[in-house]
Chain A
Amino acid sequence: MAYTVDRPKLSFSEKIYLPAVLIGLGVTIRHFFTILTGKKKVTMQYPEEKWDAHLPPHYRGAPTLVKDEHGKERCVACQLCEFICPPRAITIHPGEIPQNDRWRKVEKYPEKFEIDMIRCIYCGLCEEVCPEQAIFLRKDYAITGLTRAEMVHDKQKLYELGGVMTGLVYKWNEKK
């Protein structure tokens, strides 16, 4: 069955098209001048101006390892983050803490902890899954390198990026 579309009835000024043309030109020239005179600023000039100061607290940047204020390495090499990581960017080689150590109860520490930043998708599952509050996504987003090897963050680099995190739960406190 034929379906008839109702066409709007156009007035004469709409039919001759020119008034609409002039209105359109008016709109664009207004945009032109507001940007030209700098009345409105839309673009942030990226490498010179950055939005680092406006990043929200929950921002998911590069995953890092953190130490607490006592300088203790928090990762216990449970490898949960390695298992959860969707792109399998994390590689952990656990090592054993010797019996005479002060933290011997912890049993394991990461001998090698690497995150391949070419693979990382910044999903934050590693942070979510970590039972030790050891891995956090910090606010570094410009992770670049000239070689593939450079893009693999080793343990040292991860601690460097992560720094110290305060206000964490100390479940390996010696008193316990």
Chain B
Amino acid sequence: MNEVLFIVVIALVKGVGLLFLVILPLVSYTVYAERKVGAYIQDRVGPNRVGLPMTLLGFKKDIPLWGLVQPFADVFKLLLKEDFTPAHVNKVYYWLAPACAMAPSIMALAVVPFGSTLLGQPMVIANANIGILWVFAVSSLGVYGIVLAGWSSNSKYPFLGGIRSSSQMISYELSLALSVIPIFLICGTLNLPAIVKYQIEHGWLISPIWIKGVSLVPLRFDFQEVLHSFDLLKLILWIPLIISFVVFTVSMFAETNRLPFDLPESETELVGGYHTEYSSMKFALFFLGEYAAMIVGSSVIVTLFFGGWHIPLLPPTIAEPYSFWGIVLGLAHIAAFFAKVAVLLFLFIWVRFTFPRFRYDQLMKLGWYFFIEIALVNVFLAAFIIAIVPK
């Protein structure tokens, strides 16, 4: 009984800690990064005023801090806005929709390993064997939030946004799931921690070659092993994997409703899209849900292609997990994971401020004519290579 309780408490600590200490701050600072990076790309300045409000405490000057306190100001603003429910909406679904948009993206994080081990505990909330299937299953529920919002708002622009969103997400779900099958052919598992483990042994899936026998801690350089680390299979498998990476990443952009695929909320055509009728914190939940979905998408890409929490040249595990260095390594792995996620988030933002939005028919054509076919052919290509090329 005590063991069960222990497992439950540990899972709760990991879940709540991950959510409140990492994900929610990351979400708010992704918003800040989006504004700042977007501003820099467009030769602007971005938020640079909100800092420590020293004038409130009687001092002469505020400390601007490059606008780093902006997310807090935004949250206060959103909380203080009137939470208005229009009379013409379907109240139950109208209230349900924001939660439906936010919750799935956070739930999907449960199976993603965000660190090696800390104090002997594996840093994954649920070490489930279905792994990636859970991510796809749960994140595809996110469409319900948008469809419900669009429909229950009982007004034409949200409705159009909802329709667009459902068709877009259904289309891209297919290529999203198909594109990563080569990875499971190679790793032989759906379990995400196991995929990370495979990448630690055989090199990150995104890289065509992987040097073995070199390490920084403990300092080691084994020339023979370096010479023998050339792997023909890995080099050839890089072709389907890079295709898989491109298709998966682009589909992830479409799945998270990010530009250039942000048709559900295209401001220039649909006012605000599915969240036109929302205000205050309900609107904020959609907003945060979109960013949480971005973070989850980046986490999945990192886990599948960029070796998860693995830091090259450092040992993946340490013998005594309770020692000082054991804890440092555990924290370093968590930091490495989120650093990789941050790099991908930067990519998301960078792409957003580079490309114009697709037209609706172009979007559907890209999904159904190209990505599904490419992903399907890619599955056979990977299978063929694994069958033909000797180990």
A interface residues, Cβ below 8 angstroms from B: 18, 21, 24-25, 27-29, 31-32, 35-36, 40, 42-43, 45
Question: What are 16 A-B contacts defined by CB distance under 8 Å?
Answer: A21-B355, A24-B355, A28-B350, A28-B353, A29-B350, A31-B40, A31-B41, A32-B37, A32-B40, A32-B41, A32-B350, A35-B40, A35-B41, A36-B40, A42-B43, A45-B45
Nearest Cβ distance between residue A22 and chain B, in whole angstroms? 10
Q: How many A-B residue pairs have CB under 8 A?
A: 34
| Contact bitstring B354-379, A, C-beta under 8 A = 1, else 0 | 11000000000000000000000000
Query: Is B44 an interface position by the 8 A CB rule?
Result: yes
The CA of A31 and the CA of B353, in the complex, are separated in Å by 11
Nearest Cβ distance between residue B51 and chain A, in whole angstroms? 14
Nearest Cβ distance between residue A94 and chain B, in whole angstroms? 47
The CA of A27 and the CA of B355, in the complex, are separated in Å by 11
Q: Is the CB of A25 within 8 A of B354?
A: yes
Nearest Cβ distance between residue B386 and chain A, in whole angstroms? 26
Contacts of A42 in B (CB 8 A): 43-44
B interface residues, Cβ below 8 angstroms from A: 37, 39-45, 246, 350-351, 353-355
Given A28-B41, A43-B44, 7 further pairs, Cβ under 8 A:
A25-B351, A25-B354, A28-B354, A29-B350, A32-B40, A32-B41, A35-B40
Nearest Cβ distance between residue A21 and chain B, in whole angstroms? 7
Q: How would you classify the secondary structure of chain A's contact residues: helix, strand, loop or mixed?
A: helix
The CA of A36 and the CA of B37, in the complex, are separated in Å by 9
Q: Is the CB of B40 within 8 A of A40?
A: no
Q: Closest residue to B39 on the A side, CB-wise?
A: A35
Q: Closest residue to B44 on the A side, CB-wise?
A: A43
Q: Closest residue to A24 on the B side, CB-wise?
A: B354
The CA of A24 and the CA of B355, in the complex, are separated in Å by 8
Q: Is the CB of A25 within 8 A of B350?
A: yes
The CA of A35 and the CA of B353, in the complex, are separated in Å by 15
Nearest Cβ distance between residue A112 and chain B, in whole angstroms? 39
Q: Is the CB of B350 within 8 A of A40?
A: no
Q: Closest residue to A40 on the B side, CB-wise?
A: B43
The CA of A27 and the CA of B354, in the complex, are separated in Å by 8
Contacts of A40 in B (CB 8 A): 43
Contacts of B37 in A (CB 8 A): 32
The CA of A152 and the CA of B353, in the complex, are separated in Å by 46
The CA of A18 and the CA of B245, in the complex, are separated in Å by 14
Q: Which of A18, A21, A32, A40 has the most chain B CB atoms closer than 10 A to its own CB?
A: A32
The CA of A42 and the CA of B43, in the complex, are separated in Å by 7
Q: Closest residue to B347 on the A side, CB-wise?
A: A25
Contacts of B43 in A (CB 8 A): 31, 35, 40, 42
The CA of A36 and the CA of B42, in the complex, are separated in Å by 11
Q: Closest residue to A44 on the B side, CB-wise?
A: B45
Contacts of A36 in B (CB 8 A): 40
The CA of A31 and the CA of B39, in the complex, are separated in Å by 10
Contacts of A21 in B (CB 8 A): 355
Contacts of B353 in A (CB 8 A): 28
The CA of A45 and the CA of B64, in the complex, are separated in Å by 13
Nearest Cβ distance between residue B270 and chain A, in whole angstroms? 25
The CA of A25 and the CA of B37, in the complex, are separated in Å by 13
Q: Closest residue to A31 on the B side, CB-wise?
A: B41
Contacts of B45 in A (CB 8 A): 43, 45
Nearest Cβ distance between residue B287 and chain A, in whole angstroms? 23
The CA of A164 and the CA of B263, in the complex, are separated in Å by 61
Q: Closest residue to A35 on the B side, CB-wise?
A: B40
Q: Closest residue to A43 on the B side, CB-wise?
A: B45
Q: Is the CB of A31 within 8 A of B44?
A: no
Nearest Cβ distance between residue A156 and chain B, in whole angstroms? 31
Q: Which of B41, B351, B353 has the most chain A CB atoms closer than 10 A to its own CB?
A: B41
The CA of A140 and the CA of B231, in the complex, are separated in Å by 73
Contacts of A29 in B (CB 8 A): 41, 350
Contacts of A18 in B (CB 8 A): 246
